[in-house]
Amino acid sequence: MDTTLLAFCAVVGAGYAIQTVAGFGSMLFCVTVGAQLSSVNEVLTLAVPVSILQSAYILVRDHRHVNWRLLLTRVLPLLALGMALPLTLFNGTEAEGLKPVFGVMVLGLAMRELWLSRRRAGNTKRAPLAPLPFAASTAGAGVVHGIFATGGPLLVYALGRLELSKTSFRATLAVVWLLLNLVLVASFAHAGRYTPEMLRALPFILISLPVGIVIGEVIHHRVDEKLFRKLAWTLLALASIPLILR
């Protein structure tokens, strides 16, 4: 195993450790930091199957809590509409050229989260930010997911305002990511991105998932979650800068 693959395995493990501790950010971390090691296309080709395994595990465990009515009538149609645009217009090569756009998106999200955490800590009385419409944020999540497989922040924002229970929220999202990422893997395979070299690397990447989860569980019991979230967003903000400057 060469040093680049070993480093990317560490990135994937760290991404799922963050997901276990903070409840967000595995794919966002994998793509943002992994793009420093390899092309965005290669990062996505290897990281998306890992996300499928995690989503399947959650769905098997919590399938009774899926909000199918919300999923089938509102979420999936809007996501499909947004995701159809990049899958139709892009042939899998443009993601590399969109690194600066992705970097700006990650930097914006990170700075917003750090700013909001500072406001919450200071208990400021300023008026809240105007919410994005559900349709716009959900369709936007589909567009971003079709390009970078990281539509999570926008979709979490949209569903987070619907007052679902924690278990229903996670189970419903698991169905979304499972379906969307299966579509992405199928499109990757159709484009010939699963070369023999990629298939040899994939088992090493998959091993990183349980390793990251175990490490995350250890950190979860030893580190303050709010501090950890701030550190994770700070790291993402710093990692986004080289993408913007390329």
Query: CA-CA distance, 32 to 54, in Å (whole number)?
Result: 19
Using DSSP, state whether 96 is helix, strand or coil. helix
For the ranges 84-88, 127-131, 147-151, 202-206, the maximum mean pLDDT occurs at: 202-206
What DSSP letter does each residue of 152-173 carry, written as one string?
A: HHHHHHHHHTTT--HHHHHHHH
- In single-letter form, the type of residue at position 3 comes to T
Question: Hey, which bits of the chain come out as E strands?
Answer: none
- pLDDT attached to residue 124: 54
Distances (CA, A) of 234 to 51, 165, 191, 218, 231: 23, 29, 35, 21, 5
**Distance from first CA to last CA of the chain, Å, rounded?**
28
pLDDT of residue 11: 93
List the structure tokens of 78: 């809007």
Q: Which range has the top average pLDDT, 40-44, 71-75, 217-221?
A: 71-75
Question: Which residue carries 């967000």 as its tokens?
Answer: 24
Asked if residue 33 has pLDDT above 50, the reply is yes
Mean pLDDT of all residues belonging to the chain:
81
pLDDT at 8: 93
**Residue % of the chain over a pLDDT of 70:** 88
Which one has a higher pLDDT value, 162 or 13?
13
Burial 123-148 (b: 16+ CB within 10 A, else e): eeeeeeeeeeebeebbbbbbbbbbbb
The phi and psi torsions of 136 (rounded to 5 degrees) equal -65, -45
- 44-66 residue pLDDT tens: 899 889 888 888 888 888 889 89
Which pLDDT band holds residue 208 (cuts at 50, 70, 90)?
Answer: very high
Local confidence band at 22 (pLDDT 50, 70, 90 cut-offs): low
Classify residue 29 by burial, with Cβ atoms within 10 Å: 0-12, 13-18, 19+: buried
Q: Is 60 exceeded by the pLDDT of residue 129? A: no
Q: How would residue 132 be classed by pLDDT, with cut points 50, 70 and 90?
A: low
Q: Can you give the pLDDT at residue 96?
A: 62
Q: What is the pLDDT of residues 162-202, one digit of tens each?
A: 877 877 887 888 888 888 889 889 988 988 989 999 999 99
Mean pLDDT, residues 126-148: 75
| DSSP code, position 55 | H
**Is residue 127 scored above 50 in pLDDT?**
no
Which pLDDT value is given to residue 84?
A: 85
Can you point out the beta strands (E) in 22-147?
Answer: none
Q: Tell me the pTM.
A: 0.74
pLDDT at residue 6 is higher than 90: yes
Confidence of residue 91 (pLDDT cuts 50, 70, 90): low
The least confident of 85-89, 128-132, 144-148 is 128-132
